[in-house]
């Protein structure tokens, strides 16, 4: 009972007089800090009444604590205590975090904690907290400031004048001020709901602690700010804002889900299973039948390779990008949604309603008139997976925004006076439909889908899923679908989704496999063997490039990560080569005699077609020099007589050149090269 009767300031000072806090106070004086962080659990153990007071009468008790901190600092370092006008107490690890959408009227003026992701941050500005006004009589009046507008003195303390005051900025007191917009995390979003956000005000030494794209835990006092109608005054409705007390950036380097010792033990047991890769694959979208190769590729995408930084400071990405091309009704969207759900940091978006600013970052005008940066989907999915459905439906100018991100893992913004580079270390899982309705084997993958080759070539693995009738497969698929509907419940995967999510997070944060000599030798041997195809006669296809070799290394590292291995073995390298071959076969990059032609992906045209196209363009140019225009019949004749290109092939090449805009027809039966006079 005696303890409860004590002044809260005295109890706080007793807390700060403990040895652990006295050491912290000395460090504050040495490092010129004004804030002391107090763990709520420690406070509740020391004095439960103080802990309750912090939660219910937050502002009063935080002022008591700040006052006690200054009093104790006078014992530790009197000179420093007098030099600092105001100390702050920052409270962290509040019990019972609430979601942003649940913050309401019952929380006003109380201390709450919530998780979120920063989508917008204003520049740091000075905020006037104590204004000094000079009256015409020469007297200076100090007025504490609150609210949105500067408040002048009611009357001069010296002469009683009520008007004619001038603000003296150099004598007034300012603190740093910043506003954040914190939005619900994608994984916390209820199904079918729009994400909600809350405005967070930061003051003094809390500013610039985080930036757009960072995931944060915010502790702060809930305030109600009246809404106004221009020219009409204040409304009865109020908007909720948070006056931040403590901001902690979580997962700045890597998204980590809380993995208990029990979870870790279970994950380690799973990893010891010799068929762990098969179990993980079977746990990815278990209600979708088949797709073994695609699910294997998705497994590698989830676990990812190991990013590296060269001595020159160049970052080599570890994230794996996968593109799924398929006929309508081949369950691409379900796969993407499932992957976005089980990824530790997953985000789903559809290309049809996606803009460049929505993907990367938008520069918006804030209330005060300045410009502010708002993070887009790829920044919010940093260190995670961005599932982009219907990527072929995006406008070209919006899709260009993905170029830099897919290779450099950053997003550069130079708009409205804001020049910034944001991290977007994201794996892309994209899906596209063939533009002809069905995938056509007789033309290349670049012609089948409406995606520029500059983006197509950045995908590590590309898979084509065709809806072809197959009696045996159709029977198995029908049985599977009917069983799913008959049971009425979800298919039970070998590894439950919540454990798989923790498994992925644990592997990505704890396991960083390196290539063994044997695995490196095997990949090198494969690379050199494939390159030999390019060293034959003129016109030989380019079999494989260093970009595919890097992709093989990433895939091999990802496979080792699945088994929580620190070393990439020969088996991992062989599996990476197998899945790469499957991908090349799927997109038609494997020609007769098992010859690989990577130009099918890198340029959109097989090497043989490209060589014939060069020949056609050369003959057109010759005819133009002779006659001013190339007559079609003369062109076909010369191609057949001097270059061995038959009429059928020549017609196809000319048609393709006309479609691509390389040639044009000034009048029927004649051709000219585009751009020539």
Q: What is the pLDDT of residues 223-238, one digit of tens each?
A: 888 877 777 777 778 8
Give the model's pLDDT for residue 30.
81
With CA atoms as reference, report the closest residue to 335 among 262, 272, 407, 387. 387
What is the pLDDT at residue 71?
A: 84
- pLDDT band of 252, cuts 50, 70, 90: very low
How many CB atoms within 10 Å of residue 366? Answer: 12
* Segment among 11-15, 284-288, 620-624, 641-645 with least mean pLDDT: 641-645
C-alpha closest to that of 280 among 262, 300, 264, 254: 300
Do residue 286 and residue 387 come from a single domain? yes
Burial of 530 from C-beta contacts in 10 A (0-12 / 13-18 / 19+) = buried
Question: Is the same domain home to 87 and 104?
Answer: no
The contacts of residue 368 (CB under 8 Å, 6+ apart) are 122
Using CA atoms, how far apart are residues 13 and 17, in angstroms rounded to an integer?
6
- Same domain membership, residue 541 and residue 445: no
CA proximity to 326, closest of 355, 353, 288: 288
Same domain, 277 and 246: no
What does the alpha-carbon distance between residue 409 and residue 304 come to, in Å, rounded to a whole number? 14
- More confident of the two residues 251 and 158: 158
Average of per-residue pLDDT across 479-503: 75
Q: How confident is the model at residue 592 (pLDDT cuts 50, 70, 90)?
A: very low
Mean pLDDT of 548-577: 88
Domain end call among 92, 111, 128: 92
Residue 349 lies in a domain: yes
Report the b/e string of 432-455 with b at 16+ CB within 10 A: bbbeeeebeeeebbbbbbbbebeb
Give the residue with greater pLDDT, 236 vs 256.
236
Let me know whether 224 and 286 are in one domain: no
Top-confidence residue, 50 or 536: 50
Closest CA to 209 of 173, 183, 245, 240: 245
Is residue 533 predicted with pLDDT exceeding 70? Answer: no
Q: Indicate whether 529 pLDDT > 70.
A: yes
Residue 28 maps to which CATH number? 3.30.1640.10
pLDDT(537) > 70: no
**DSSP structural state of residue 451:** -
For 86, residues 6+ apart whose C-beta sits below 8 A from its C-beta are: 34, 66
User: Does the pLDDT of residue 14 top 60, yes or no?
Assistant: yes
Contacts of 627 (CB under 8 A, 6+ apart): none
**Structure token pair of residue 663:** 């040639």
Question: In the prediction, which pLDDT does 489 show?
Answer: 60
The alpha helices in 394-468, defined as continuous H runs, are 396-399, 402-408, 445-448, 453-456
| CA-closest candidate to residue 654, choices 666, 663, 643 | 663
| 158 vs 202 pLDDT, higher one | 202
Taking alpha carbons only, the member of 588, 581, 571 closest to residue 527 is 581
How many independent structural domains does the chain possess? Answer: 5
Do 23 and 59 lie in a common domain? yes
CATH number at residue 643: 1.10.10.10
Work out the pLDDT band at 437, boundaries 50, 70, 90: low
- Least confidently predicted of 73-87, 268-282, 305-319, 580-594: 580-594
* Residues 542, 394 share a domain: no
- Per the document, the length of the chain is 677
**In the predicted structure, residue 254 carries a pLDDT above the cut 50:** no
When pLDDT is cut at 50, 70 and 90, the band that residue 159 belongs to is confident
Mean pLDDT taken over the chain: 78
Using the 3D structure, point to which of 35, 60, 92 is the last residue of a domain: 92
Task: Please tell me whether residues 532 and 651 are part of one structural domain.
Answer: no
Q: Which long-range contacts does 539-542 make (Cβ < 8 Å, 24+ apart)?
A: 539/607, 539/608, 539/611, 540/607, 541/591, 541/595, 541/596, 541/597, 541/598, 541/599, 541/606, 541/607, 541/608, 542/597, 542/598, 542/599, 542/602, 542/607
Q: What percentage of the chain exceeds 70 in pLDDT?
A: 84
pTM: 0.66
Task: State the pLDDT confidence band at 469, using cuts at 50, 70 and 90.
Answer: low
Domain of residue 167: give its range.
Answer: 100-250
Q: Is 535 helix (H, G, I), strand (E, B) or coil?
A: helix
Residues 241 and 267 in one domain: no
Mean pLDDT lowest among 187-201, 476-490, 564-578, 647-661? 476-490
pLDDT level of residue 455 (50, 70, 90 thresholds): confident
**Residue-level pLDDT at 501:** 84
Nearest to 546 by CA among 554, 538, 537: 554
Q: Are 391 and 268 in contact (CB under 8 A)?
A: no
């Amino acid at each position: 009972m005696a303890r409860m009767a004590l002044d809260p300031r005295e109890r706080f000072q007793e807390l700060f007089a403990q040895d652990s806090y006295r050491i912290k106070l000395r460090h504050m004086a040495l490092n010129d800090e004004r804030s002391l962080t107090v763990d709520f659990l420690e406070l509740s153990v020391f004095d439960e009444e103080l802990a309750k007071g912090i939660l219910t009468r937050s502002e009063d008790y935080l002022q008591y604590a700040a006052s006690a901190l200054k009093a104790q600092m006078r014992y530790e370092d009197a000179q420093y205590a007098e030099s600092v006008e105001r100390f702050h107490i920052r409270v962290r690890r509040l019990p019972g975090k609430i979601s942003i959408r649940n913050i309401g009227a019952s929380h006003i003026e109380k201390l709450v904690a919530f998780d979120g992701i920063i989508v917008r941050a204003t520049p740091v500005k000075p905020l006037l907290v104590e204004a000094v006004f000079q009256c015409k009589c020469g007297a200076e009046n100090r007025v504490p400031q609150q609210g949105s507008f500067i408040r002048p003195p009611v009357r001069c303390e010296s002469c009683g004048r009520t008007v004619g005051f001038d603000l003296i900025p150099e004598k007034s007191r300012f603190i740093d001020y910043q506003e954040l917009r914190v939005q619900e995390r994608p994984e916390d979003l209820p199904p079918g709901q729009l994400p909600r956000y809350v405005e967070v005000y930061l003051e003094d030494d809390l500013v610039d602690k985080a930036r757009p794209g960072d995931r944060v835990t915010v502790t702060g006092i809930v305030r109600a700010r009246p809404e106004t109608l221009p020219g009409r005054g204040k409304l009865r409705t109020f908007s909720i804002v948070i006056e931040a007390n403590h901001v902690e950036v979580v997962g700045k380097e890597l998204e980590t889900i809380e993995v208990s010792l029990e979870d870790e033990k279970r994950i380690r047991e799973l990893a010891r299973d010799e068929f762990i890769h098969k179990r993980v694959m079977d746990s990815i979208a278990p209600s979708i039948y088949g797709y073994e190769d695609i699910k294997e590729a998705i497994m590698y995408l989830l676990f990812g390779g190991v990013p590296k930084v060269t001595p020159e400071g160049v970052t080599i990405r570890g994230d794996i990008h996968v593109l799924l091309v398929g006929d309508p009704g081949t369950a691409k969207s379900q796969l993407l949604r499932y992957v976005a759900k089980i990824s530790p940091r997953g985000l789903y978006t559809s290309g049809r309603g996606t803009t460049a600013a929505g993907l990367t970052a938008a520069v918006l005008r804030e209330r005060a008139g300045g410009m502010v940066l708002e993070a887009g989907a790829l920044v919010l999915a940093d260190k995670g997976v961005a599932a982009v459905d219907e990527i072929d439906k995006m406008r070209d100018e919006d899709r260009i925004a993905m170029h830099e991100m897919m290779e450099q893992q950053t997003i550069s913004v130079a708009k409205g006076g804001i020049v910034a580079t944001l991290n977007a270390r994201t794996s892309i899982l994209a899906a596209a439909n063939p533009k002809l309705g069905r995938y056509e084997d007789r033309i290349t993958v670049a012609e089948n889908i409406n995606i520029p080759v500059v983006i197509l070539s950045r995908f590590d693995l590309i898979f084509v899923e065709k809806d072809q009738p197959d009696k045996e497969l159709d029977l198995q698929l029908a049985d599977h679908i009917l069983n799913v509907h008959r049971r009425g419940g979800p298919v039970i995967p070998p590894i439950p989704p919540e454990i798989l999510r923790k498994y992925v997070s644990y592997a990505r944060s704890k396991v960083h496999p390196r290539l063994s000599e044997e695995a490196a030798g095997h990949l090198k041997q494969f690379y050199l063997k494939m390159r030999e195809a390019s060293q034959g006669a003129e016109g030989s296809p380019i079999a494989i490039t260093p970009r595919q070799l890097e992709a093989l290394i990433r895939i091999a590292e990802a496979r080792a990560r699945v088994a929580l291995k620190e070393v990439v073995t020969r088996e991992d390298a062989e599996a990476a080569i197998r899945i790469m071959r499957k991908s090349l076969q799927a997109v038609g990059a494997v020609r007769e005699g098992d010859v690989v032609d990577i130009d099918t992906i890198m340029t959109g045209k097989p090497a043989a077609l490209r060589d014939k196209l060069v020949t056609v363009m050369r003959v057109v140019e010759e005819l133009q020099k002779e006659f001013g225009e190339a007559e079609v019949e003369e062109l076909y004749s010369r191609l057949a007589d001097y270059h061995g290109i038959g009429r059928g092939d020549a017609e196809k090449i000319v048609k393709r050149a006309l479609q691509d805009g390389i040639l044009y027809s000034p009048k029927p039966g004649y051709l000219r090269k585009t751009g020539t006079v």
